[in-house]
């Protein structure tokens, strides 16, 4: 009598489960495969010497590449820190409009995909950055902070040198979305 109902319920649960697994799996798959694809596209765009999208339907551009020599990690930087962009790569937090030399470059990425390596960064580590101007700059990590609110207080006069800020969610191994952020500041080395 009830067996049909329960069979239906069971089927529903199985279907939900499968869809859920597939959907959730998409995120790391996107991160892994997307990074490869972006890598290739970025190299091509450097050759072509023009700002380009990784694929036609994308609503973001590739604007640079970040390399951590110590961890042998490189990430393509996208011009947007929207959820869609950050599913594929790391994004530049939108301060590009007000950008001047004294403004730091702020990059954000997910703690459980692209920015997982941030837990292994220490003060003094080198980070290499190439933006679309094709100049390879080296930054050295000068400090690490944890903020309670998802905000970054910047003082304009503070940085005479160019600086690079990487940010991701804190704590690293938590599975809940939170307001805390881990912030790594790196100063340009000459």
| CB of 50 vs another protein, minimal distance in Å | 27
Give backbone dihedrals phi and psi of 186, rounded to 5 degrees, phi first. -125, 140
Rounded Cα distance, 105 and 99, in Å: 8
Rounded Cα distance, 86 and 78, in Å: 8
Tokens at 168, concatenated? 């991701």
Q: Which is nearer to another protein, 13 or 189 (CB)?
A: 13
Q: Which is nearer to another protein, 10 or 69 (CB)?
A: 10
| CB of 160 vs another protein, minimal distance in Å | 9
| CB of 57 vs another protein, minimal distance in Å | 21
Q: What angle do CA 35, 67, 39 make, to 5 degrees?
A: 25
Q: Which is nearer to another protein, 24 or 189 (CB)?
A: 24
| CB of 147 vs another protein, minimal distance in Å | 6
Give backbone dihedrals phi and psi of 71, rounded to 5 degrees, phi first. -100, 0
Residue identified by tokens 């551009």 is 61
Q: Which is nearer to another protein, 49 or 163 (CB)?
A: 163
Buried b (16+ CB within 10 A) or exposed e, 172-190: eeeeeeeeebbbbbbbbee
| CB of 24 vs another protein, minimal distance in Å | 4
Q: Which is nearer to another protein, 59 or 158 (CB)?
A: 158
């Amino acid at each position: 009598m009830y067996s049909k109902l329960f069979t239906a319920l069971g089927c529903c649960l199985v279907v939900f489960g499968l869809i859920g697994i597939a959907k959730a799996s998409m995120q790391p798959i996107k991160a892994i495969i997307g990074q490869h694809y972006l890598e290739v596209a970025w190299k091509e765009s450097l050759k072509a010497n023009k700002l380009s999208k990784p694929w036609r339907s994308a609503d973001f551009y590739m604007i640079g590449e970040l390399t951590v020599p110590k961890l042998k990690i490189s990430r393509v930087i996208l011009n947007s820190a929207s959820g869609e962009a950050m599913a594929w790569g790391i994004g530049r937090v939108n301060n590009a409009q007000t950008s001047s030399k004294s403004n730091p470059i702020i990059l954000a990425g997910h703690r459980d995909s692209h920015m997982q390596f941030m837990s292994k960064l220490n003060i003094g580590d080198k980070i290499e950055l190439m933006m679309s101007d094709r100049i390879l700059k080296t930054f050295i990590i000068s400090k690490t902070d944890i903020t309670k609110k998802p905000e970054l207080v910047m003082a304009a006069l503070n940085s005479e040198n160019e600086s690079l800020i990487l940010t991701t969610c804190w704590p690293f191994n938590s599975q809940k979305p939170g307001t805390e952020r881990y912030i790594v500041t790196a100063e340009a080395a000459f």
